[in-house]
Amino acid sequence: MKRAMASPKIAPTLTTAEEARQLLALRKGDDSYNNAIAMLRAQFGVIQSRYQFMITLCALAMTITGFSGPKIAASNEFSRYTMAIGLVFVLATTLLMLVSSLKLKWVTQMGGDNPQDTIEGILRYRDLKTKMLGVKMILLAIGLSFYVSSVVYYFLAYDRV
């Protein structure tokens, strides 16, 4: 007789205030605030590394287009339009990252009346950066999908060398 596989329990999402309290409670005393800041710094590091990876992908797509793009675009109408659409999305993603995501806002500028308020403000900022990362990832995925479909169609349909 087979046992039903138990579905994993998903932890409830904490509110910003609950998360701030939880971060501050991980260590007692004076170290609690420093520990919370260190954990948040690590989380910002993850977000930053994702942005760096995305900028690298954007740069690669634009660089490769400079070398092979004209030949692919000249081969057929489908490849030309999908490459153009893809590059517009990749460029839009790059510009959004350059003007918004890479703009600095220091944690020390996010003071509050007490450690709880300060951590909550930092968490809200982290959540906003995370949400915007998701939007930019979708834009980049759309752009790369069009771009790759252009190249794939070129390989499959273009029979002249």
CA torsion 61→62→63→67, rounded to 10°?
100
Quote the pTM value: 0.80
Q: What is the pLDDT of residues 22-62, one digit of tens each?
A: 999 988 777 888 899 999 999 999 999 999 999 999 999 98
According to the model, what pLDDT value does residue 117 have?
Answer: 92
- 3-state per-residue secondary structure call for the chain: CCCCCCCCCCCCCCCHHHHHHHHHHCCCCCHHHHHHHHHHHHHHHHHHHHHHHHHHHHHHHHHHHHHHHHHHHHHCHHHHHHHHHHHHHHHHHHHHHHHHHCCCCCHHHCCCCCHHHHHHHHHHHHHHHHHHHHHHHHHHHHHHHHHHHHHHHHHHHCCCC
According to the model, what pLDDT value does residue 39 have?
Answer: 92
Q: Which residues of the chain have pLDDT under 70?
A: 1-7, 159-161
Domain boundaries, the chain: 17-157
Encoding tokens for residue 157? 């349909």
Burial of 103 (0-12, 13-18, 19+ CB in 10 A): exposed
